[in-house]
Chain A
Amino acid sequence: MEFPVETGEIPGFDTDVLVVGGGLVGQSLAIALAQAGVSVHVVDRAVPETTLAPEHDGRASAISFASQQMLRAIGVWNDIAESQPILGIRVTDRNSPLHIHFDHKGLGGEPFGAMVENRHMRLGLHTTLKRTTVRNTAPESLKSFVTNPFGVEATLESGDVVHARMLVAADGARSQTRDMAGIGTRGWSYDQWGIVTTVAHERPHEGIAHERFLNPGPFAILPLTGNRSSLVWTEAPAMAAEMVKLGDERFGEELRARFGDFLGEIRTIGPRWRYPLHLRLADSYVADRFALVGDAAHAMHPIAGQGLNLGLRDAAALAEVIVDAHRLGLDIASADVLARYERWRRLDGLTLLSVTDGLNKLFAPNSGPVAWARDFGLAAVNQMPPVKQFFVNHARGTVGKLPKLLRGEQIAP
């Protein structure tokens, strides 16, 4: 007695993973997955010619040592035209003579990471991506999606329908995909805006990053290739709006007042950007057949330069849990696979968010004892190697259980 079961045509999926948002984190995730044999389709609302143009994104990112390892492991690092290693970090509080200096030589020898201009990073990712099987559609965006027990049916703006086993939202801090999934966020806006610009200076920076705590907020001078530095400057909202409108001459004066003359003559090159600063964390990193990565999951104060690094860590962890399941023929987006990603990443996001928020509050302008303790603290930390090592490990991104890619390893077993 036998009961055969008819098997008709199998409907099939168009792709394993649909990634909405082809930014730095979305593309890194797509590359890591594709290299391990998972099929990926990326949609991005911007035209590639626009995002790859030098004037599209004048910002630079501090890539931690661990993130650098990941970009090496997925082959992107070689496609990045230029980068500046960060050899030292110097933290000062206003005009206090006390400071803390982290030198890479005394602390393991490896640089803390590297400064990479976003335009170089975008070009590098684009080059690597073209060598993979990733399907890239732009300009295109997600109109709506419906989740079923086995996958996601996504309808795109063009009317195309994509059947994927899972959907990943990598569409930034104001992720519409996250809203569509019904995942809320918590957080607040700081009464600060960030101003970003690039300066050329007379004397070499020796690869040292400077973080200064001024009254309106942190002011960072981050070394770029040649005699150039990237500035991240926080100001009260009204002041920030005025600053970006100033003529070059006046802006230069304001800049010199904060920057000082330790690098000789300085002048701004390239445009100025300003953006509001928020702290925001998604209520959940996952839903049925759905995951958030990068700024869609968390937005933070740029004080520690960790936003992109945190996003790359999300990408590496999500790629690892998906590939682990894929290599066993298991469902890549089952509830337990996504729960593993959530457990792995959300606590890290929460910790870094609180640390950066705490730092910003600690260095907010305060009266007497707090300011004194802060300065004394900086000097004290400077004298205590183990405490310094703790901060250095955080800066390098080598804290906690690292995804394989961040240890510079391949995901493959």
Chain B
Amino acid sequence: MTANAATRSPQQSPGSLDANAGSVDADEVARFGNLSQDWWNPTGSMRALHQINPLRIGYVRDLLCEQLGSTPKDPSPLTGAAILDVGCGAGLLAEPLARLGANVTGIDASPEMIQAAQIHADGTATSVDYRATTAENLAASGKTFDAVLVMELVEHVADVDSLMTACCRMVRPGGVMIAATLNRTARSLVFGIGAAEYVLGWAPRGTHDWRKFLRPSELGGHIRGGGLTVTDLTGITYSPIAREWKLSRDVGINYMVAAKKTLGD
């Protein structure tokens, strides 16, 4: 399934796309446009993701800058880094990283999602290599990356082991992996699901299944099993008084894990 959305001018709104590739009808492109708009709307259904997005981008950027010997102040600090964003959705993470200079490949199992991501990237004139495929399929091709990102994904998949094995395989020796998910604690049940989905409405109800959340030790186990060494564990917490998200040592609800594959493995 292929659509050529790239030749349109950025002035057209995604809803009025002229789908000139024969295989896609205009209604479908319009639907992807709406999907893209909804994902990218800071107050839309992906509101919670938008709130933590600056923090996770900053975390990824700073870690990769360290790897590359650049600083976050540089005009394109991630130039030269080949990044894979697994489960990229509409590109909330992939697109900003590409704008910081990285060569980003974004994969998502849903072709609709990839279409939505591509429409948005065209509109913002950002170059991302989007593919509708799974981590397992891409890993089978033997491709490797400087950094593999598995952000807010493991809690949504059926087979974590298969996903993480494939992701670890795609980290080149010397490269890094950053994974993020929700911890399986009493607090994440109350705040991560109860408050976020039912009280505050930051995420649609049913977005998360608490039983699929992973403890840091479990996620770390998958990463070590894939031949990587965990180098950092950082929490993302919300302060209801300051009304802002912060990186912290508290990994009780949202957290990120960084890991490295040693050279010569």
User: Which of A's residues lie within 8 Å of B, judged by CB?
Assistant: 1-13, 37, 146, 148-151, 153, 163, 324, 327-331, 334-336, 412-413
Contact = CB atoms under 8 A, between A and B. Distances in A.
Contacts of A7: 6, 118, 122, 127, 129-130
Interface in B7-54: 7, 9-14, 21, 37, 41-43, 50, 53-54
A148 B114 contact: no
A401 to B, nearest CB: 13
A11 B9 contact: yes
Given A2-B137, A329-B97, A335-B42, A11 B131 contact: no
Contacts of B127: 7, 10
A331 B2 contact: no
B95 A148 contact: no
Interface in B120-167: 122-127, 129-133, 137-138
B73 interface: yes
B57 A5 contact: no
Given A12-B125, A13-B125, 5 more contacts: A1-B133, A7-B122, A13-B10, A328-B100, A329-B57
Interface of B: 1-4, 6-7, 9-14, 21, 37, 41-43, 50, 53-54, 57-58, 61, 72-73, 75, 95-100, 111, 114-115, 118, 122-127, 129-133, 137-138
Contacts of A334: 42
Given A10-B6, A146-B11, A1 B61 contact: no
Contacts of A12: 125
B61 A328 contact: yes
A330 B75 CA distance: 14
Contact of A4 (B2, B12, B54, B61): B2
A150 B14 CA distance: 10
Task: Choose among A6, A10, A324, A329 the residue with the greatest number of B CB atoms under 10 Å from its CB.
Answer: A329
A10 B126 contact: yes
9 contacts: A2-B138, A6-B6, A10-B122, A10-B125, A11-B9, A13-B10, A150-B123, A150-B125, A330-B57
B79 to A, nearest CB: 12
A153 B11 contact: yes
Given A149-B14, A335-B43, A2 B131 contact: yes
A148 B33 CA distance: 13
Given A3-B131, A3-B133, A11-B125, A151 B95 contact: no
A9 to B, nearest CB: 7
B180 to A, nearest CB: 16
Which 7 pairs of residues, A with B, have the shortest CB-CB distance?
A: A329-B96, A8-B6, A3-B132, A329-B99, A150-B123, A329-B100, A336-B42
Contacts of A330: 53-54, 57, 96
A3 B2 contact: yes
A136 B214 CA distance: 54
Contacts of A413: 72-73
A331 B42 CA distance: 11
A18 B132 CA distance: 36
A5 B114 contact: yes
A163 B10 contact: yes
Contacts of B4: 6, 8
Contacts of B75: 37
Nearest to A9: B6
B13 A5 contact: no
Nearest to B96: A329
B131 A5 contact: yes
B48 to A, nearest CB: 13
Contacts of A149: 13-14, 37, 123
Given A2-B132, A413-B73, A328 B115 contact: no
A150 B21 CA distance: 23
Contacts of A4: 2, 131-132
Contacts of A146: 11
A11 B73 CA distance: 26
Nearest to B123: A150
Contacts of B130: 5, 7
B140 to A, nearest CB: 10
B6 A148 contact: no
Contacts of B124: 150, 331
Nearest to A326: B99
A359 to B, nearest CB: 34
A324 B58 CA distance: 10
Contacts of A336: 42-43, 50
Contacts of A6: 2-4, 6, 21
A327 B54 CA distance: 10
Contacts of B21: 6
Given A1-B133, A6-B6, A329-B57, A412 B11 contact: no
A327 B74 CA distance: 9
Contacts of B42: 334-336
A152 to B, nearest CB: 9
A329 B6 CA distance: 21
B10 A148 contact: yes
Contacts of B72: 327, 413
Contacts of A329: 57, 61, 95-100
Nearest to A163: B10
Contacts of B50: 336
Contacts of A11: 9-10, 122, 125
Contacts of A150: 10, 123-125
A5 B118 contact: yes
A334 B95 CA distance: 14
Contacts of B114: 3, 5
A235 to B, nearest CB: 48
B41, B43, B99, B127 — which one has the most chain A CB atoms within 10 A of its CB? B99
Contacts of B96: 328-330
A149 B122 CA distance: 12
Contacts of A328: 54, 57-58, 61, 96, 100
Contacts of A3: 1-2, 111, 114, 131-133
